Structure 1
Amino acid sequence: MATLTEPSSSLSFTSSHFSNVSVGSNHFSPSSASNLEVVSLSKLSSNLELLLSSNPDCDYTDAEIIVDGVPVGVHRCILSARSKFFQELFKKDKKSSKIEKPKYHLKEVLPYGAVGHEAFVYFLSYIYTGRLKPFPLEVFTCVDSVCAHDSCRPAIDFVVELMYAASILQVPELVSSFLRRLCNFVEKSLVENVLPILLVAFNCKLTQLLDQCIERVARSDLYRFCIEKEVPLEVAEKIKQIRLKSPQEEEENSPKVSDKILKALDSDDVELVKLLLTESDITLDEANGLHYSVVHSDPKVVAEILTLDMGDVNHRNSRGYTVLHLAAMRKEPSIIISLLKKGANASGFTCDGRSAVNICRRLTTPKDYHTKTAKGREASKARLCIDLLEREVRRNPMVVDSPMCSLSMPEDLQMRLLYLEKRVGLAQLFFPTEAKVAMDIANVEGTSEFTGLPPPSNGLTGNLSQVDLNETPHMQTKRLLTRMEALMKTVETGRRYFPYGSGVLDKYMEEYIDDDILDDLQIEKGSPQERRLKRMRYRELKDDVQKAYSKDKESKIARSCLSASSSPSSSSSLRDGLKNST
C-alpha cells in the first residue's frame, strides 16, 4: 500500500554528527553546522508534536475547534503562524474573553466540502511538526481483505478531506502533495469513485485535476442522469459536450418516457410512476427505475416502488449492476432488507467480479466496521449492511451467479463453502447412512474439517484447512469450487429425498448461522452448565429430526427408495434406489 512518508524518517541522528565540532571553539565546519541544524529541527518537530498530546497535565491550548462533535485543543499562535486562514479567523476574536477558550466549529468556517476528525488531526500534525506521517489505516483502508487499498473509496475520501483542509485553510505545500495523489487515483479507481475527486477539484479550483476528472467521466459509461444529479451543472454540460462528439452517444437529444419516470421518482410520486408505466410501452426495468430509486429516493419510496411488483429486483442495467449492487453502494440497511425480501440475489456478481458484500466492504473503513456502538446510539449502517448481506449469502449458498466470476473473490467462495461443510456435517450427525449415500453420489469424500473424521489419504479435498504450498491461488479457487459443487449436490439430493428432515436442518442452520454449530453439539465439551444447555438443545433437535424423518418415510417421494433404509446395512440398496430415481 502506498502511503505518504515522513521526510525525516530516513534520517538517523547519533553522536557521530558532532565529531567535527571542537569543544570550546567558536568554529563549525559546514557539514557539522548542517547536521546540527537537521538535529535541531527534528528535535523541535518532536517537541511541538507533544503539544498535540491529550495529557491534561500538559494542556496549554488556548482555543478549541469542534470537529464531528469532538473538541480539538489548539494553540492559536502556532496555527496563525502557519496558516493565513487561521490568522484572519483569530483576528476577529482577539478581544474576546480571556477566561474561556474560544470555540470554533469547523463546519461553520468551511465554505464547502467536509473534513472529518481523523483528517483534521492528521492535518494538525503537519501544521505542528512540518512532517507528513503515514495515513491512519483505520480510516484510509477498507475491510475487504483482497483490496490493495491504493484506490478504494476510504483512501480516496480521506485524501479528498485532506485536500479540502489544505486548500481552504491555505497550506499550499500540502495542496501540491495531495494533488499528485488524487491525480493517480483518477485513472486507477472506479468511475463512481472519481466523482468526489471531481467535486473537490471544482470547489478548490484545481484546474488540471478537474480537466482530468471530466475526461475520465466523459469516456466512461456512467449514466447521464447520474452525472446530472451528482456534479455541478457547468461540469455536467462539459461532459455532455465531450460525449456528443463520440459516435456512440445517440440518446442525448429528445426527452424520453424514461426521463419522465425518473423525474417522477425525484418528486417521490409513486402514483405518477405507476401511471406512466401503465400508459407507455416502456417497463420499469427498461427505464432503470428501480436502480435510480435505490440510489436517489427515500427508503420509504423504494419500498412503495417494490410493492408495485412492476420490476425485476435482479435485473441488470447496461453497466452490469443489479439493484442490490447499488443498494450496497448506498449502505442503507432498510433498502437492502426490502430487496432481499423481494428475492434479490445476494450472490450476484458485477462484470468485474464483485458481489454486493465486496462492494459494501470496499466502502467501509475498519473504524466504521469494528467500532462498538454506545448504548442508545445508532449502529454503524455499513456494518449492518455487511452483516445482512453476508448472512443472506450463508443462508442461500446454493444460489450461485456465474461462479467462475468468483475466482478473484475467495471470501465469497469460502463463506458459501463454510456453510455447506457445516450443513453436510450436520446431516452426517443425524442421518449417517443416508448422508453417506448422498455424499457418495456427489463424490464428496467427507467433511473432516468440521466433523472430526480422518482426512482422506488420496490427496487434497476442498477443505479450507488444507494447504498446498505449490498450489496457485487460481488452482486453489478451482478446487474449492469443485468441492462446493459436490457439497451443493449432496444437499440438493438430501432435500429431494428427505424434504422434512432437510427442512429441520435448514431451519436450525438459519437460527444458529453465526454459531459454531457442530461444536455446540459436542455434548462432552464445555463447563457443566454449557454441557447441560448442549444436551437440551441436542435433545430438542433430535426430536424434531426424528419426527421429520418419520414424515419422510411415510411420504411417497421417499417410499420408493427408502423401504430398505431402516438399518445401517442397507446403504447399497438405498444407493441403487437413489441413483435409479436420479
Structure 2
Amino acid sequence: MAAFYYKLDQLLSHCIEKLVKSDLDSGCIDKELPNEISSKIKLLRRKSLQEAESGAEEVDPILEKRLGRIHKALDSDDVKLVELLLSESNLTLDDAHALHYAIAYCDPKIVMEVLSLGSADLNLRNSRGYSVLHVAARRKEPSILMALLTRGANASETASDGQNAVSICRRLTRPKDYNEKTKQGEESNKDRICIDVLEREMRRTSLSENVSILSPSVADDLNMKLDYLENRVAFARLLFPAEARLAMDFANANSTSMNTGLLASKSKGSSGSLREVDLNESPAVQAVRLQSTLHALRKTVETGRRYFPHCSEVLDKFLDDDMPDAIFLDKGTPEEQKTKKRRFMELKDDVQKAFYKDMENNNRPGRTSSSSSSSSPKSGVTYKARRKY
C-alpha cells in the first residue's frame, strides 16, 4: 500500500510478485487492495497458471464471480441476499468461505446472523490454513470469539504455521496494551479480554470443567432466584462494565429489562420493572415472562463464570457479605447509617484489592493457575433474603 500510494514502482513490482505467488485468496486481495492492484495480481496469476507445466486448472471465472457476489452481499450486511445467492448457485457457505469472510470484515451482528444459518463448518480451513477461530483471533473481537467457542470451535487447534488462536492473538497484541492496568469500573482492554478468554477456554477444555452457576443450597423459589441474579448482573455492570456487557450481549439479555434489582430500586423507588404487577396479565403469561427473564439472567451469569471467573469470584464475595443492603446508606437511624457506611467502605476496599490482585495474576507471564477454584461458587454461599429499608 505504501509503495502504491507513494509511487515506489520498483518496490511495488516486488510486492505484487510476492502476492501473485502467495496463498492469499482473491476475496482477501479484492478487499484489502486498490482495484488497480488486485486486478493486476489476478491477471498475473491467470497467466502464471496458463504457463505452468503442472497441469493446474484455471479458476472458473463464473465461479469466481459468484463468490464475489456473495462477499459483496456480506459487505452490504444482507444475509438474506447471501442465502438467495447460495440457493441460486448451488454453493454453500463453506464453498464461499463466507464465515471466514464475515468474521474478518463484517459487523459482529452479521457474523451472528451467518452463524445462525447453522450450515457453516467451524473446522473448515481457508487457503492459508486458518480456521474461523484463527481469523477471529486476528480480528480480536471478544463477542465473536465467545460465539465461536460456545458453538464448539477448538481453541487449541493450530494453523498451518503451528500457531493456535491465543498465540495469534498474543502476537498481534502489544505487551504495553496487555499489561496496562485497568482501574475498577473502567473499560477493560479488548486485546486482553480476547487473550484471557482463549486461555481460559483452553484450560477449561483440558480440565473438562463443568461448573454449575448456582449453589445447591439455593431455594427453588423463582422470585429469590431472580432477586439474586438481578443483583449479581447489576453489580457486575457497576464493577466490571466491559465484561458484563459482553456477557449480556452474548445472552441476548439487553432485550430484557436489566435495570432491576437493588440498583434499580434505589433509582426508581420500586422493586424494579421485572416484577411490577400487571392486572391484565394472567398468571400463566406472567410465569412465562419471568421464566424468560430468568433464562437470560442465568445465561449472563453462566457466561461470566465461564469467561471471566476472577470477576465472578469478586462478585461472590460482594454478594455473600450481604453488601447490597448497604447500598441504601441514607436509610435507617443515624447509628444504622454509620454502621452501613463503615461496612460499605470495608468491603469496597476488599473488592478493590481483589480486583488489582486479579489484574496482577492476569499480567503474570506463564501463569498456570487453575480456573476451577476461582470459577466455582464459594461453598456455603446462600441466597439471602434482602432486607428493605
* Correspondences of 1:435-474 after superposition (within 5 Å): none
Task: Work out whether 1:270 is the aligned partner of 2:79.
Answer: yes
Output the amino acid matched with 2:61: N
Contact 1:346 1:393 in 2 (8 A): yes
Structure 1 distance, partners of 2:58, 2:174, is 40
Q: CA deviation at 1:376?
A: 6.2
Which residue in the other structure is 2:59 paired with? Answer: 251
- Matches of 2:106 and 2:87 in 1, distance apart? 21
Contact 1:266 1:296 in 2 (8 A): yes
Aligned partner of 1:253: which letter? P
TM-score, normalization by structure 2: 0.51
Q: Please list, as runs of the form range in 1=range in 2, the aligned pairs for 1:142-181 lying within 5 A after superposition.
A: none
Q: How many aligned residue pairs are there?
A: 218
Among 20, 23, 39, the residue aligned to 1:237: 39
Show CA shifts across 1:510-545 (max 9, x none).
699669x9xxxxxxxxxxx9xxxx9xx88649xxxx
Q: Name the counterpart of 2:3.
A: 201
Q: Name the counterpart of 2:139.
A: 330
Tell me, in whole angstroms, the C-alpha distance in 2 between the residues paired with 1:206 and 1:384: 39
1:9-57 per-residue CA deviation (whole Å, 9 max, x = no partner) reads xxxxxxxxxxxxxxxxxxxxxxxxxxxxxxxxxxxxxxxxxxxxxxxxx
Decide whether aligned partners of structure 1 residues 511 and 332 sit closer, same or farther in structure 2, where only a CA change above 3 A counts: closer
Structure 2 residue 91 is matched with structure 1 residue 289 = no
**Cα offset for 1:281?**
2.2
Amino acid at match of 1:302: V
Q: Deviations over 1:261-291 (max 9, x none)?
A: 2221111111111222334421111110100
Distance in 1 between the 2:181 and 2:78 partners?
A: 38
| Pairwise CA distance, 1:256 | 4.1
Return closer, same or farther for 1:330/1:510 CA change in 2, 3 Å cut-off.
closer
Residue 370 in 1 paired to residue 179 in 2? yes
Counterpart among 8, 15, 19 of residue 217 in structure 1: 19
The change in CA–CA distance for 1:296 and 1:512 in structure 2 (over 3 A counts) is closer
Q: Is the 8 A contact 1:243 1:249 kept in 2?
A: no
**Which of 211, 228, 247 is the aligned partner of 2:30?**
228
SS of 1:246's equivalent in the other structure is: helix
In structure 2, do the counterparts of structure 1 residues 250 and 378 end up closer, same or farther at CA, with 3 Å as the change threshold? Answer: farther
> 1:201, CA displacement in angstroms?
1.9
Alignment correspondent of 1:388 = 197
CA distance in 1, matches of 2:171, 2:57: 31
d(CA) in 1 for partners of 2:307, 2:100: 32
Deviations 1:411-442 (A, max 9, x none): xxxxxxxx58xx8xxxxxxxxxxxxxxxxxxx
Cα displacement (A) at 1:359: 0.6
User: Quick one: distance in 1 between partners of 2:178 and 2:100?
Assistant: 26
How much has 1:381 moved relative to structure 2? Answer: 1.7
**Which has the higher Rg, Structure 1 or Structure 2?**
1
The alignment partner of 2:61 has SS state of coil
Rounded Cα–Cα distance in structure 2 between residues aligned with 1:376 and 1:205? 48
Aligned to 1:68: none
Q: How far 1:377 sits from its partner (Å)?
A: 5.2
Residues 146-182 of structure 1 show CA distances to partners (whole Å, capped at 9, x for unaligned) of: xxxxxxxxxxxxxxxxxxxxxxxxxxxxxxxxxxxxx
Mapping 1:308-457, distance limit 5 Å: 308-373=117-182, 378-397=187-206
What CA deviation, in whole Å up to 9, does each residue of 1:351-372 have, x standing for no partner?
A: 1211010111110111111112
What SS does the corresponding residue of 1:387 show, helix, strand or coil? helix
- Is contact 2:169–2:195 with CA below 8 Å preserved after alignment? yes
Q: CA–CA distance in 2 between the matches of 1:237 and 1:329? A: 26
State how far apart, in whole Å, the 1-side matches of 2:147 and 2:60 are. Answer: 33
Write out per-residue CA displacement over residues 74-121 of structure 1, whole angstroms, 9 at most, x where no aligned residue.
xxxxxxxxxxxxxxxxxxxxxxxxxxxxxxxxxxxxxxxxxxxxxxxx
- Asked whether the equivalents of residues 155 and 202 of structure 2 are also in contact (C-alpha less than 8 Å), the reply is yes
Unpaired segments of 5 or more residues in structure 2? 50-55, 210-302, 314-349, 351-373, 382-389
Where does structure 1 differ by over 4 angstroms across 4 or more consecutive aligned residues? 374-377, 509-515, 537-541
Residues 271, 351 of structure 1: CA spacing in aligned structure 2 closer, same or farther, 3 A cutoff? same
CA distance in 1, matches of 2:201, 2:185: 27
- Mapped contact 2:200–2:307 kept (Cα < 8 A): no
CA contact (8 A) 1:325 1:359 kept: yes
Unaligned runs of 5+ in 1: 1-198, 398-418, 424-506, 518-528, 542-582
**SS at 1:396's partner residue?**
helix
What TM-score, normalized by structure 1, do the two folds share? 0.34
Question: Cα offset for 1:316?
Answer: 1.7
1:477-514 residue CA offsets vs partner (Å, 9 max, x unmatched):
xxxxxxxxxxxxxxxxxxxxxxxxxxxxxx9x969966
Give the letter for the 1:324 counterpart: L
Question: Aligned equivalents of 2:186 and 2:12: distance in 1?
Answer: 39
2:74 alignment partner AA? L
Aligned counterpart, 2:286: none
- Deviation per residue, 1:291-326 (Å, 9 max, x gap): 011111111111111111121222222322111100
Equivalent residue, structure 2, for 1:120: none
Provide the rounded CA distance (Å) in 1 between the counterparts of 2:193 and 2:57.
Answer: 39
> 3-state DSSP class of the match of 2:48?
coil
CA distance in 2, matches of 1:227, 1:313: 23
Distance 1:296 1:203 in 2: 23
Amino acid at match of 1:358: S
SS at match of 2:23: coil
**Greater length-normalized contact order (CA 8 Å, ≥ 6 residues apart):** 2
CA RMSD, 1 decimal? 3.1
Deviation at 1:379, TM superposition (A): 2.8
Q: Distance in 2 between matches of 1:512 and 1:224?
A: 38
Residues 1:303 and 2:107 are matched in the alignment? no
SS of alignment partner, residue 245 of structure 1: helix
Q: Percent identity?
A: 52
